[in-house]
Chain A
Amino acid sequence: MVVSLVNVLVNGAAYGMLLFLMAGGLSVTMGLMGFANLAHGSLAMLGGYVLATLMNHYDVSFLPALLAATIATAFAGAIVERTVFRRLYGGAELDQVLLTIGVVSMTVAAATYVWGTNPTSVKIPAWLDGRLQFGNFDFGVYRLFLLIVGGALTAGLFFGIDRTNFGAKIRAAVDNRRMTVSCGIDVKRLFALAFAIGSALAGLGGGLAVGLVGLDPTFGVKYLVFLLMVVVVGGLGSIRGTLVAAIALGICDVTGKYYVPDAGAFILYAVVVVMLLWRPRGLFGR
């Protein structure tokens, strides 16, 4: 009984961590910068495809490929931001939603054209592909790896953005752009950098996810809803909130499916609706 429960909780946390890894970047772009970025999933998908192509066709090993995926996606995000998204900062959210949906359509078509509709997968390196057993509890090594990476990422984001001048500048620029500019801060460069970071994280998350959930051109759209939920429930503008929400939703989802499997996806939707009604600004929203 207890063993099962512990397994479920840990798996839930690991699933939540996967969500956080994919949604972390969204927390920066949508949460921090206030830009409704539905194309985030597409960026994650790009990271996944870069990883898969490097590993499958060019025999690059896992970690370097992951790094490459992260950097490539950062560049892609920066380019898209500069050419397209930049013009809609501070605009109506619906416009941003529609614009990013347009981008998503294009990326799905492009991915289909380049990589075909067949699902792709990668071979996880042997040192990550196994099981650890502690008495009656067993956990996949890859999942533990995700937990560790996620933890490191949170710390990095927290101390790198939440608690620094950088983060404060971004928040200031989002709240009152003109004032920030008049303080001598180059807001354009600031946003470009922040968006690049958000995109890099998307690429990282996507690359890491391939080993667990596979990859195909609909990747960006399939899991988008979960990512949006995590960021909104956590509270826009708070990295801490996204992490807490991700872990909480992950645990709720897996535990719910364990105890009441017939309820299926409803549990997650119900939890999200209740959370949003209780705290419309999210758990740690500003």
Chain B
Amino acid sequence: MSRMGLRALAALVGLGALCGAAWADEEPLKIGLVGSFSGGAAQWGISVDAAFAAYQKQHGDSAGGRKIEFLRRDTTGPNPDIVRRLVQELISRDKVELICGIEFTPNALAAAGLSTQAKVPLLIVNAATTEILTNAPYTSRFGFTTAQIVTPFAKWAAKNGYHDVYAIYTDYGPGIEAGNAFKKAFTEAGGNVVGEVKPPLISPDYSAYIQRVKDAKPQAIFIFAPAADHPQIFLKAYRDAGLGEIGVKILATGDLTNESVLNNLGDPALGMITTFDYSEAHDSPLNKEFTKAFYATARDNTRPDFTAAAAYDVINAIYKIVDAQHGKIDPDRTMALIKGMSFESPRGPIAIDQNRDIVQNVYFRKVEKVGGKLENVEFQTTPMVDDHGNPTK
């Protein structure tokens, strides 16, 4: 072959290789996004979609040379059998390389089992029970655990004059975990749990429980309840019985005053002290950027809340993972990258430890009116708490 011919051939081969490479890079990276996009918990889906959209507006929709494609699957609420089927189909049929999302413990347990079986990394946004990660080497969590939020609170309460506390926690998985975590940490710190009740999930009336509290005359009530309707019902009964007047304070986790229900609680919520990992009022440049971007993409006047922040961090982590592996996802390498990951989140500094669980600041906040809007204003911080509620520093 002539020299010209050789060069032409080489060029053609080179071009072909380039095209081939480009072609391979163009195959999108499929990631399963599993969560509630309808039903009672649809707010979760709205927050996550808005957070993801905000991030992708800032950082584009590709990472590591590949286009990121999210396959949305709706769980419609805590439905572990639906989740199981959805995740199985995502892995088996759609061949996703990563899965993210998940908002409820039963769903997380169902998904984690499959993630372990099929060795597909799972990044959990919210589910808060510690045991989810126990036998799941490919599952990691970016939200928070109940023990993480409750334990510092319990210790703080014991040291700040709340000696006798009455515990009210809703009778379902997260509630029981919160109640147990509080009781354990509080009694260990020297406090006294004078009584407890577990209202069922559908409780239109709290007056019986409030009466019991009144009989016991504690200094404060520790309450954990699902954010939807319980906070309102509880506050009404609390006020009707005049507990505020006789000096019984309310200690709650941030679920009760989280941004998506805060407006509904209205002024009766002012002064409530809670602990949580994210507040819209958190004073950091990243959070200000995040909230601005969030409001631009969210609908229905949704405020950014802990779900949105965690989702933002998850997609950030995904982009980091894909970038670091140049678009070729290997499950074990992914998990190695996740363990020990640390970066700045809209909530503050966060890290993932060797147990694949989240380590973050736990903030103490008080509900105050800022600029005419109700906000959780942070007044104290316990830095870098691990998933069992113990400080790592």
Point out the residues of chain B lying under 8 angstroms from A105, CB to CB. Answer: none
| Interface flags, A224-266, vs B, CB<8A=1, else 0 | 0010000000000000000000000000011111100110110
A102 on the B face (CB < 8 A): no
| Of A4, A118, A119, A261, the contact of B300 (CB 8 Å cutoff) | A118
- Nearest residue (CB) in A for B245 is A131
Within the complex, the shortest CB–CB distance from A49 to chain B, in Å, comes to: 14
> Is there contact, CB below 8 Å, between B205 and A140?
no
Knowing A212-B233, A261-B198, A262-B198, say if A11 contacts B212 (CB, 8 Å): no
B202 on the A face (CB < 8 A): yes
Query: On chain B, which size bracket covers the interface?
Result: 35 or more
Jot down 25 A-B pairs with beta carbons below 8 A, ordered by A: A7-B207, A8-B208, A12-B207, A12-B208, A15-B204, A15-B205, A15-B207, A116-B300, A117-B38, A117-B39, A117-B40, A118-B43, A118-B300, A118-B302, A131-B241, A138-B241, A139-B240, A143-B240, A212-B236, A213-B204, A213-B229, A255-B208, A261-B199, A261-B212, A265-B200
Point out the residues of chain A lying under 8 angstroms from B42, CB to CB. Answer: 112, 117
A18 on the B face (CB < 8 A): yes
| Of B40, B197, B211, B261, the contact of A218 (CB 8 Å cutoff) | B40
A182 on the B face (CB < 8 A): no
Knowing A222-B202, A258-B211, A261-B198, say if A138 contacts B40 (CB, 8 Å): no
A223 on the B face (CB < 8 A): yes
Knowing A119-B228, A119-B261, A140-B240, say if A4 contacts B233 (CB, 8 Å): no
A112 and B300 CA atoms in complex are apart in Å by 11
Closest 10 CB pairs of A and B: A140-B240, A11-B207, A257-B208, A258-B208, A117-B42, A121-B264, A214-B229, A261-B197, A214-B232, A15-B205
Give 14 new A-B contacts, CB below 8 A, not counting A15-B204, A119-B229, A261-B197. A7-B241, A8-B207, A8-B208, A119-B232, A119-B261, A121-B265, A131-B242, A213-B229, A213-B232, A218-B40, A253-B208, A256-B208, A261-B212, A265-B200
A12 and B205 CA atoms in complex are apart in Å by 9
> Is there contact, CB below 8 Å, between A214 and B264?
yes
Point out the residues of chain A lying under 8 angstroms from B265, CB to CB. Answer: 121
Point out the residues of chain A lying under 8 angstroms from B302, CB to CB. Answer: 118
Point out the residues of chain A lying under 8 angstroms from B197, CB to CB. Answer: 257, 261
B131 on the A face (CB < 8 A): no
A165 on the B face (CB < 8 A): no
- Which chain B residues (178-219) contact chain A, with CB distance < 8 Å? 197-200, 202, 204-205, 207-209, 211-212, 214-215
Main secondary structure on chain A at its contact with chain B? helix
A255 and B205 CA atoms in complex are apart in Å by 12
A133 on the B face (CB < 8 A): yes
On chain A, the number of residues with a Cβ less than 8 Å from chain B's Cβ atoms is: 42
- Which chain B residues (241-279) contact chain A, with CB distance < 8 Å? 241-242, 260-261, 264-266
B171 on the A face (CB < 8 A): yes
Within the complex, the shortest CB–CB distance from B271 to chain A, in Å, comes to: 17
> Is there contact, CB below 8 Å, between A11 and B205?
yes
